[in-house]
């Protein structure tokens, strides 16, 4: 800051002497990233469905406090599609530091992305500087492209086409996926149909009382990501039946190029 005084004495032509000069001002706050006090981006390469985790410190080196601080997170993919999230932090005291965390499930993301973090966006609160309010980092999400595996058994036995089964079998359909982050926990991942000897095709809803659904255990995905259906039909007609099963994982990868079908008597 520079001050300039202009004084003039048109009568005595004597320069007046400045006895006292007081400047009053209101200090302005300044939010800035404080990487030296805390920064952790847990991984820049993530498996689809894995949680993105960012933790960082934010400082206010000025002598003026900041009210509750707004932080904006923007994710941009290779097609320039953007997702924006905002989070309100506690007030940031003068000469103070706070820690903030941002977490996001990457189920809807795939490929290269840019994460832009902006403190006090659009100068919601007046600051001394704003050039130090933006941080950028890059990350990659590896898409889930592997097909899940399906296993169908009748009373615990895998049958061949034309095999004879019990008139009241316990049919189990096991679906297993290698993804350790996207749990197989929804009945919509399965489709069942039964073709009767009469030619009638019955689509089996997953809320049918003959169906029991066992979702994957979300706390055990690193060991096993597996869902199971138990179907207990009653084959009252004599003749040939056909069971049709379709299944997919959370990202839509199908369990095989074709639906599973088996003829039984």
Tokens of 80: 């320039």
Tokens of 154: 């009748």
- Residue 3: band (very low, low, confident or very high) from pLDDT cuts 50, 70, 90: confident
Are 159 and 170 in contact by the 8 Å Cβ rule? The answer is no
**pLDDT tens for each residue of 58-76:** 999 999 999 999 999 999 9
Q: What is the pLDDT at residue 256?
A: 84
Are 264 and 240 in contact by the 8 Å Cβ rule? The answer is yes
The rounded distance, in Å, linking the Cα atoms of 228 and 249 is 13
Tell me: do 118 and 201 sit in the same domain. no
**pLDDT tens for each residue of 173-231:** 999 999 999 999 999 999 999 999 999 999 999 999 999 999 999 989 989 999 999 99
Last residue of a domain, one of 99, 127, 142: 142
- pLDDT exceeds 90 at position 14: no
CATH number for the domain spanning 238: value is: 2.60.40
The rounded distance, in Å, linking the Cα atoms of 211 and 193 is 12
Q: What is the pLDDT at residue 95?
A: 95
Tell me: do 131 and 172 sit in the same domain. no
The predicted model scores a pTM of: 0.75
91 occurs within a structural domain: yes
Tell me: do 258 and 161 sit in the same domain. yes
6 occurs within a structural domain: no
List for the chain the helix, strand, coil content (%; round to 5): 5, 45, 55
Tell me: do 169 and 247 sit in the same domain. yes
* pLDDT averaged over every residue in the chain: 93
CATH number for the domain spanning 116: value is: 2.60.40.10
**Structural domain for 94, as ranges:** 32-142
């Amino acid at each position: 800051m520079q001050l300039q005084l202009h004084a003039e004495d048109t009568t005595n032509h004597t320069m007046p002497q400045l006895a006292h000069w007081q400047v009053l001002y209101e200090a302005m706050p300044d939010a800035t990233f404080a990487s030296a006090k805390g920064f952790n981006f847990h991984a820049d390469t993530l498996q689809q469905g894995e949680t993105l985790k960012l933790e960082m410190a934010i400082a206010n080196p000025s002598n003026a406090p900041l009210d509750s601080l707004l932080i904006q997170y923007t994710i941009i993919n290779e097609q320039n599609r953007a997702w924006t999230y905002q989070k309100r932090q506690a007030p940031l005291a003068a000469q103070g530091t706070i820690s903030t965390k941002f977490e996001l499930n990457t189920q809807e993301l795939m490929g290269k992305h840019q994460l832009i973090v902006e403190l006090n966006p659009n100068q919601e609160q007046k600051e001394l500087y704003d050039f130090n309010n933006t941080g950028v980092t890059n990350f990659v999400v590896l898409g889930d492209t592997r097909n899940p595996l399906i296993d169908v058994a009748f009373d615990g036995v895998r049958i061949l086409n034309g095999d004879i089964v019990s008139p009241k079998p316990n049919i189990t359909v096991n679906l297993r996926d290698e993804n350790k982050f996207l749990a197989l926990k929804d009945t919509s991942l399965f489709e069942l149909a039964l073709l009767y000897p009469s030619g009638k095709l019955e689509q089996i809803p997953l809320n049918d009382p003959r169906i029991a659904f066992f979702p994957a255990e979300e706390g055990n995905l690193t060991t096993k990501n597996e869902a199971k259906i138990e179907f207990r039909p009653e084959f009252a007609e004599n003749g040939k039946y056909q069971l049709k099963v379709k299944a997919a994982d959370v990202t839509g990868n199908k369990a095989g190029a074709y639906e599973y079908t088996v003829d039984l008597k």
